Amino acid sequence: MNNELDDMKNLWQNAPASQASMSAEQIETLLTQRSKSALQNLRTNLLIEFSVGLMLTAVLLYAAFRAESTVERFAILQVLFVLGPCFIFYFLALKNLNKGISMHQPLRPMLKESIQFWQLGLKVYFWGGVLLLPVVFMAARLWRQQTFGSGSLQFFTGSSPVIFFKALSAWALVSAVVWGLIKISYGKYVDKLKTILKEMNAVA
């Protein structure tokens, strides 16, 4: 950490004259612009995911309404149950982002607050989704069995250890994909906010 801060200080001290001569206010303005850009990218990706979630919810509600059996309807409602906490995350995240983008408080405390929220929020978002994945698997199994019959459940064939290994492998694969998507959509912009905060501390 100390080496990183020293590197940042040296970067500013050895910068071209036009940049090195920037006042504290000009530097903060530059960092503020970079912060807003990162927050806006976070909001854009969140709104895209929120829109996809709404469309999926609408499709599932329609499917539940048109379901021909109680078992099929119950399977669909299980998936809707998993989607519920996601919308709580979307609401809290948008509230945090809008507050940050408005810049109604000084840059440093805003960055600290945003970073703390996203570090905790993404962990809860990821692990909450991962722990609820078995609910989705069981819902998919019920729906497929009800729609196509027991003979279609090839994924769940074999001895108990084989079925367990298949389920665990699927769980691990989906979890890895979800984590990768989170890092691409949100994590890299949270890292940018961390870098900006470090730069502020380095030139203070």
What confidence score (pLDDT) does residue 144 get? 67
- Cα distances (Å, whole numbers) of residue 164 to 112, 154, 184: 43, 14, 30
Nearest to 181 by CA among 45, 50, 86, 60: 45
Q: What is the DSSP string of 10-61?
A: HHHHTS-HHHHT--HHHHHHHHHHHHHHHHHHHHHHHHHHHHHHHHHHHHHH
Tokens 């309807």 correspond to what residue? Answer: 73
Maximum mean pLDDT: which of 1-15, 123-137, 183-197: 183-197
Q: Is the pLDDT of residue 33 over 70?
A: yes
Closest CA to 122 of 186, 177, 184, 46: 186
CA dist 56 to 68, 183, 185, Å? 20, 22, 19
Calpha distance 61→66 (Å, rounded): 9
Distances (CA, A) of 44 to 11, 50, 69, 108, 189: 31, 10, 39, 23, 11
The 10s digit of each residue's pLDDT in 38-89 is 999 999 999 999 999 999 999 888 888 887 778 778 888 888 888 888 899 9
- Residues 114-153 have pLDDT tens digits of 999 999 999 999 998 888 887 777 777 766 666 655 554 5
Averaged pLDDT for residues 183-188: 94
CA dist., res. 173 & res. 155, Å (int) = 15
Q: 131-149: buried (b, 16+ CB within 10 Å) or exposed (e) per residue?
A: ebbeebbebeebbbbbeee
